[in-house]
Structure 1
Amino acid sequence: MTDIYMLTWNWLSGSPLVAAATEAATESTTEEGSLILAGVLLSLVIIYFASQLGGEICSRINLPPVLGQLLGGVLIGISAFRLLVFPEGGSLASDSLIVSLLETTAGLSVESAPSVFAAQSEVISLLSELGVIILLFEIGLESDLKELIRVGPIAAVVAVVGVVTPFVAGTAGLVYIFNTPVIPAIFAGAALTATSIGITAKVLAEIGQLSSEEGQIIIGAAVLDDILGIVVLAVVASLVKTGEIQISNIVYLVISAAVFLIGSILLGRWISPLLIGLVNEMKTRGELLLTSLVFAFSLSYIATAIHLEGILGAFAAGLILAETEKRKELEEQVIPLADFFVPIFFVCVGARTDLSVLNPAVASNREGLIIAAFLIVVAVLGKVVTGFTVFGNPELNKLAIGVGMIPRGEVGLVFAGVGSASGALSEATDAAIIVMVISTTFIAPPLLRIVFKEKETIAQPVDKVQD
């Protein structure tokens, strides 16, 4: 019987019809590949244009450029011109103006449009994820490990208070004031715990406060917030799926996070002299940058493999390499790389933000807007209060520490996305979480700049008196 199958296959494989069909399929695949590349290139043109335009405008009116990148993303995203939309947000190929441009100018067929749209969106999403990894690696390089260790206990207090306060206040308020079912209320409360380290760190770097004591406390607390946020998300997701909390899963996440961070830093301090010695012996171009990226991506992979966030691995790698003699040289070499990848991340965060949920003319949005107003108050106050838990240093800008913890950014959107996908959230609650994320993401950068300026203004008369 096998011989018959083999003879039949040999005859078919030599058939002109089969050969023609195979050739056509190959050509179709090749054509789709070139169109995907065209879509990605067009997306990058639009992303960089929006990033530069928004950043330049904000810079000229004394606002953080990162805010302009976010606003640029909103304009080209689902809320406005729909140039850059993503299928995970419910958009179709027909909703994307980039796909329409490809159909008009590059001969993209209607049949191939959905697959090209999905692939192009996936590539941009991956570049965006690389952007936040590069950003956290750069932030790690600019941070001081010894200073982070010194402010570690303070950062831990800020992080814990910043997670517990909004979670308890948000969940209790939704249950007892708005009569929201317990599981959706817990999910919304969990979304309030997040802090977007990427957005805060970028603003701190732009205003020259990243290496300040307040900046180091904010960064340390935001890193811990990420870890606690992962644990909270895992617990809530488990609650939604099974109706019960799996203690073993919580214990695993906590232990793996602690072991990873402490272990990577200790091991990295032992490995880093070997890496630098290897770099010094190399004669090829890009030896320092590429070796450092291998190290950073390896730690990010390990973090992802044990179900943590890849950004934690990149941040740890930056901290470790910041203690080497190559720190300044590496910082300079990373800047062009960050300039390429990081804007993609911030523009994509803005592009995914759907401002239609803010329209009160739509009846279904009104309940969500009322809940959103409550969540915004809890989100802001729940983080601002964290700065005032710091005792023993009256010179610290406590308000700045609290404000630095406000933005939820992409982290909050992850919570909203998981909650929506699980079916745990009603449309009103889902819309409310999105509005809260939008609001905290956009108000934090200008507020952060204001509170740090107030500190400088207060300090000036003291300096003059001393002179």
Structure 2
Amino acid sequence: MLHDLNIPQSFPIFATATEAEKAPLVLTSVLLSLVIVYIASKLGGELSKRLDLPPVLGELIGGVIVGTSALNLLVFPESGATASDSLLMTFLQSISDLSPESVTSIFASQSEVVSVLAELGVIILLFEIGLESELRELQSVGYQAAVVAVVGVVAPFAAGTLGLMYFFGVSAIPAIFAGAALTATSIGITSKVLSEIGHLKSKEGQIIVGAAVIDDVLGIIVLAVVASLAKTGEIDILNVVYLIISATAFLLGSILLGKFFNKSFVSIADILQTRGQLVIPAFTFAFLMAFLANAIHLEAILGAFAAGLVLDETDKRKELDKQVVPIADILVPIFFVSVGAKADLGVLNPAVPANREGLIIATFLIVVAIIGKIITGWAVIGQPQINRLAIGVGMIPRGEVGLVFAGIGSASGVLDKPLEAAIIIMVIITTFIAPPFLRLAFKQSAQPAKSSVE
């Protein structure tokens, strides 16, 4: 095996790294990164389970411990880290004769590979959630989900933007950008928690997932608006109209496709005789849908979710569910640990003078972020027995979506350090409080949520 990789036979990674030798060193760093990810995810998940908390919360906390905030074992350039900040890179350099340039190159490649695996993980997660969701049930709560999503975007955006301008004297464009970051909802985190606590198919769960999907579409449109505003000071109306039309056409087209595609998919799976005759065509379809969504400037996870909804209508749904689970078990933890690893809790340290103003603004943003989503539960009409608190709490986590807003705002130069730190704090707090509070909200329900598929 070592010979096949063209690594010198005597202590391969102790040799001077030439360009030809960087590839195996990148592989070495990626493999070590995955070891760290899996240990963090299992220890965190198991501990959370024993504390009667959602395992995903433990995976996020495990990521925080191994990431930028603590051990610096798993760090990423997009979080502002360099190769010298990574203990993993320091370890590799200590056992190899690597130049600083080589370490930087290996660090960049390793981070990119892990980030791609994390993205693949969330795509598979949303595909799995789509498979577990009932299209008919999602359609039955479509109106309520749309209202929840719109309220969950408009309320925090308006309150956040106007509050920053009025109370803190923030200028218009940065305030709009921060307000936009408040609109996000992390469908990955919420849907995973719902699945873990057995409420994904409840009426509340279907409304939350449906609203989160619509929220993601609206968030993309809001992001396009504020990004163009940041670059030019003007809103590109044509781009906004394009996004609205393409997002609507994609989701409706996916639903219509399911009515014609199901029999063809089953026929293809029945014809194939080799291993993976069901799961390979399924993932091919999911990745194709994710690609198409990405190609029209939507999120790849929306395409994967739509693919799951389509295949959920086939006769092989239960068999496919079982085959997807072990693949998700391998890749999904990479996503959650990476989200935690990128969260820099250093911005919470009040001893750093630069953080104090950010903490004050963050307190305001956190209040708006929580209240702005909690009230969405009361936007549901015609459902007197619905658990409105659970719906509102389910919409709270900003997760990786909120970090995208902060990253783009920082890269464009729109956000100053205190406001950027405040947004990051808001994302961290909302991401970590949502899982335990969502479980608590369902426990406090007068009656256990009944499956809507009975």
TM-score range, shorter-chain basis?
Answer: over 0.9
1:428 positional shift: 0.5
1:122 matched to 2:112 = yes
Amino acid at match of 2:105: S
1:40 matched to 2:30 = yes
The 5 Å alignment of 1:49-448 reads 49-448=39-438
1:30 matched to 2:6 = no
For residues 260 and 238 of structure 2, the distance between their equivalents in structure 1, rounded to whole angstroms, comes to: 32
Amino acid at match of 1:61: L
Amino acid at match of 1:171: T
| Partner of residue 450 from structure 1, selected from 440, 446, 450 | 440
Instruction: Say which SS state the counterpart of residue 264 (structure 1) adopts.
Output: helix
For residues 161 and 195 of structure 1, the distance between their equivalents in structure 2, rounded to whole angstroms, comes to: 12
For residues 281 and 447 of structure 2, the distance between their equivalents in structure 1, rounded to whole angstroms, comes to: 43
The Cα offsets for residues 196-228 of structure 1, whole Å up to 9 and x where unpaired, read as 000000000000000000000000000000000
The match for 1:459 is 447
Contact 1:35 1:108 in 2 (8 A): no
For residues 283 and 177 of structure 2, the distance between their equivalents in structure 1, rounded to whole angstroms, comes to: 36
For residues 35 and 201 of structure 2, the distance between their equivalents in structure 1, rounded to whole angstroms, comes to: 33
Contact 1:170 1:375 in 2 (8 A): yes
Amino acid at match of 1:229: G
For residues 203 and 182 of structure 2, the distance between their equivalents in structure 1, rounded to whole angstroms, comes to: 25
Instruction: Say which SS state the counterpart of residue 382 (structure 2) adopts.
Output: coil
For residues 395 and 413 of structure 2, the distance between their equivalents in structure 1, rounded to whole angstroms, comes to: 29
For residues 459 and 91 of structure 1, the distance between their equivalents in structure 2, rounded to whole angstroms, comes to: 48
The Cα offsets for residues 253-310 of structure 1, whole Å up to 9 and x where unpaired, read as 0000000111122123312211110111111001100000000000000000000000
For residues 220 and 434 of structure 1, the distance between their equivalents in structure 2, rounded to whole angstroms, comes to: 26
Contact 2:131 2:317 in 1 (8 A): yes
1:102 positional shift: 1.2
The match for 1:6 is none
Contact 1:200 1:404 in 2 (8 A): yes
Judging changes above 3 Å, is the alpha-carbon distance between structure 1 residues 336 and 106 closer, same or farther for their aligned structure 2 residues?
farther
TM-score (norm 1): 0.91
The Cα offsets for residues 372-415 of structure 1, whole Å up to 9 and x where unpaired, read as 00000000000000000112111100110000000000000000
Contact 2:258 2:313 in 1 (8 A): no
For residues 394 and 282 of structure 1, the distance between their equivalents in structure 2, rounded to whole angstroms, comes to: 49
For residues 143 and 101 of structure 2, the distance between their equivalents in structure 1, rounded to whole angstroms, comes to: 58
Instruction: Say which SS state the counterpart of residue 459 (structure 1) adopts.
Output: coil
1:110 positional shift: 3.0
List alignment gaps of at least 5 residues for structure 1.
1-26, 461-467
Judging changes above 3 Å, is the alpha-carbon distance between structure 1 residues 208 and 106 closer, same or farther for their aligned structure 2 residues?
farther
For residues 72 and 107 of structure 1, the distance between their equivalents in structure 2, rounded to whole angstroms, comes to: 31
List alignment gaps of at least 5 residues for structure 2.
1-16, 449-454
Number of residue pairs aligned between Structure 1 and Structure 2: 433
Contact 1:194 1:412 in 2 (8 A): yes
Contact 2:40 2:62 in 1 (8 A): yes
- Please identify the structure whose Cα radius of gyration is greater: 1
Contact 1:156 1:221 in 2 (8 A): yes
For residues 192 and 25 of structure 2, the distance between their equivalents in structure 1, rounded to whole angstroms, comes to: 34
For residues 365 and 153 of structure 2, the distance between their equivalents in structure 1, rounded to whole angstroms, comes to: 14
For residues 150 and 92 of structure 1, the distance between their equivalents in structure 2, rounded to whole angstroms, comes to: 49
For residues 196 and 216 of structure 1, the distance between their equivalents in structure 2, rounded to whole angstroms, comes to: 15
Q: Calculate percent identity across the aligned residue pairs.
A: 65
Amino acid at match of 2:409: G
Contact 1:360 1:366 in 2 (8 A): yes
For residues 73 and 423 of structure 1, the distance between their equivalents in structure 2, rounded to whole angstroms, comes to: 28
1:106 positional shift: 4.7
1:107 positional shift: 4.6
For residues 419 and 103 of structure 1, the distance between their equivalents in structure 2, rounded to whole angstroms, comes to: 34
Amino acid at match of 2:203: E
For residues 391 and 172 of structure 1, the distance between their equivalents in structure 2, rounded to whole angstroms, comes to: 28
For residues 383 and 220 of structure 1, the distance between their equivalents in structure 2, rounded to whole angstroms, comes to: 15
Contact 2:257 2:310 in 1 (8 A): no
